[in-house]
Structure 1
């Protein structure tokens, strides 16, 4: 076990770290992707965005915890909304939730829950508009996600609208929050506030849909499906029949349609990024790295529609490095970014499929 792993597993050692180092270490433990992208942001934005991700991860930890009943999850989510809004009772929340976490929850998340009081103290140290943006996001996510705990998801969601709503609760509201934080940081960015807020929901959905498509078979093993039945009704496939052994051209056709829909959302993500000032290379890279990795993942899915394990469509470390290099070279030029996006994603569209990729405007 290396030093960082030892540290992330030891809440007492973590408590001794300064705020910035604590957030960086927790991020490394719960998400290597965000631990890579968030440090690209300007120093004025890093603390708020890092803290925001940790707050969202706390909600995710509650939702994913197998030992908690639906009623307990609703209780802890409601309590956490109040804590983020007021800063009160974080220690009680942590002491109550931490002992209930199972071994299935990763050690870094055990540490994160034990350190909720420190994370919330950092939240309360932010500017008032930043706190408001974070609290709004947490409230939307923590109120929305428990709704899906009560659903029987073995046969998927009923409609694409249902999928849009789910993606909004877990990712679109995060996009909105980031847009608000970027606008607070820069008057120049604020000039595009309304369009950025609109596009940010689509940006979040594109990333979330990519994750859903990549994880279809991992979810199927748990008896869960996040795909929309109405898309597959058009191809003649019943999602209730989906199993890890499924080998059906009708399913692959529906999957291809969903790839095209996700591509449309990622096209909006590019437009969003291009609205940011060209000199804000840190914020642009933060967006572009996530966008680039999503496009490459969709490409692998489209090229391997008969995949049956997420590892088969997971992009390599070399692909991640290539994304970073390519975006760093093109980050300041909207024209080059469009050319790079169109070249990389040219096979993702379905010529016989038309969809308006902004279908959820937030709540």
Structure 2
């Protein structure tokens, strides 16, 4: 261990860290939520899942970098896909990308890009099935996200099907990857492989839709809208007129419909979690904490449809602590989990809107 206190603003201090310590420190820098949930996983799952998140975050960093042109983003994404698949080219990738990152990219992500070679080295310490799961996810995400980045998003997405596709590229494919890793870890879990893979796409979409709804006004301030126009056609609202100053009852009716859709996906997330053996408490906690926080966020949005800033519907730290405590107490019982879900999500379904998630087979439709 280096005598230097390891911190992300001193990358050289990370040299002496073990792989787990190294990934934990990077996770803490780029996502406090996942730094909290991923360590709940069993040891044999923690390392590949932590690595997978860092790989996905590298793709996100490329896609979000304002200084890069669409062509540059495409080139860096293609290079990264090849690097993840083969284990080669990480040093050149990091050396070429790092100087191009702007100040709008957070310092922890600057550090992550610079440390790409070590991240990739860890990736290729896994067995072939795990590497394939990670590489497939990265490839899907890196090829799919630019499709939407190249669009004019100021008027929203045309249809709910487009939203399904977007959610698949940024979250559903991650859900599939996690399901594959869980099945690789446990033959008992693998007995439900096909159903888990199907539900995992819906799980990812529920979480992503919750984030989209929470961040509507932050996105609108940047001239971006991820909402589907066809849903709002039914309520009589034109998303091209959406601004941070919008105060329209027809818009709020559309939000209620989307909340109901997200709720349907989160119900599938509960089914997914209940298929995990009850003795796998670490995996269940990993799933339930994300699910619980999403349900509470949707509930706050439903209760405050006139919100104008994301922090108005962000759940409190006490709510996070309560979610953790409650799921630890009930997480082994499918019956109690169903009762808890029904109680906390009451009212999220719109009485005049029934949605049957069609994106469970989203991959085959893309």
- TM-score over 0.5 (shorter chain): yes
CA positional deviation for 1:355? 1.2
Is this contact kept in 1: 2:164–2:359, CA < 8 A? yes
2:276 paired with 1:314: no
Question: For residues 142-191 of structure 1, what are the alpha-carbon distances to aligned partners after superposition, in whole Å with 9 as ceiling and x for unaligned?
Answer: 00001112100000000000000000000000000000000000000000
Runs of 4+ aligned residues of structure 1 deviating over 2 Å after TM superposition are: none
Is this contact kept in 2: 1:165–1:360, CA < 8 A? no
CA positional deviation for 1:9? 1.6
Three-state SS of the structure 2 residue aligned to 1:45 is helix
RMSD: 1.1
- Distance (whole Å) between structure 2 residues aligned to residue 15 and residue 30 of structure 1: 19
2:184 paired with 1:184: yes
2:211 paired with 1:211: yes
Is this contact kept in 2: 1:15–1:115, CA < 8 A? no
CA positional deviation for 1:16? 2.9
CA positional deviation for 1:5? 10
2:112 paired with 1:112: yes
Unaligned runs of at least 5 residues, structure 1: none
Is this contact kept in 2: 1:164–1:360, CA < 8 A? no
Three-state SS of the structure 1 residue aligned to 2:246 is coil
Corresponding residue for 1:64? 64
- Distance (whole Å) between structure 2 residues aligned to residue 217 and residue 175 of structure 1: 26
Is this contact kept in 2: 1:52–1:134, CA < 8 A? yes
- Distance (whole Å) between structure 2 residues aligned to residue 123 and residue 358 of structure 1: 33
Unaligned runs of at least 5 residues, structure 2: none
Alignment of 1:292-307 (within 5 A): 292-307=292-307
Corresponding residue for 2:151? 151
2:44 paired with 1:50: no
Corresponding residue for 2:344? 344
Question: For residues 12-36 of structure 1, what are the alpha-carbon distances to aligned partners after superposition, in whole Å with 9 as ceiling and x for unaligned?
Answer: 1123321110100000000000000
- Distance (whole Å) between structure 2 residues aligned to residue 131 and residue 112 of structure 1: 20
- Distance (whole Å) between structure 2 residues aligned to residue 339 and residue 5 of structure 1: 47
1:6–1:310 CA distance, 2 compared to 1 (3 A)? farther
Question: For residues 86-122 of structure 1, what are the alpha-carbon distances to aligned partners after superposition, in whole Å with 9 as ceiling and x for unaligned?
Answer: 0001000000000100001001000000000000000
Corresponding residue for 1:17? 17
Alignment of 1:1-363 (within 5 A): 7-361=7-361, 362-363=363-364
- Distance (whole Å) between structure 2 residues aligned to residue 227 and residue 265 of structure 1: 16
Is this contact kept in 1: 2:157–2:226, CA < 8 A? yes
- Distance (whole Å) between structure 1 residues aligned to residue 72 and residue 109 of structure 2: 18
State how many pairs are aligned.
Answer: 360
Is this contact kept in 1: 2:214–2:301, CA < 8 A? yes
CA positional deviation for 1:298? 0.2
- Distance (whole Å) between structure 1 residues aligned to residue 107 and residue 6 of structure 2: 10
1:105–1:5 CA distance, 2 compared to 1 (3 A)? farther
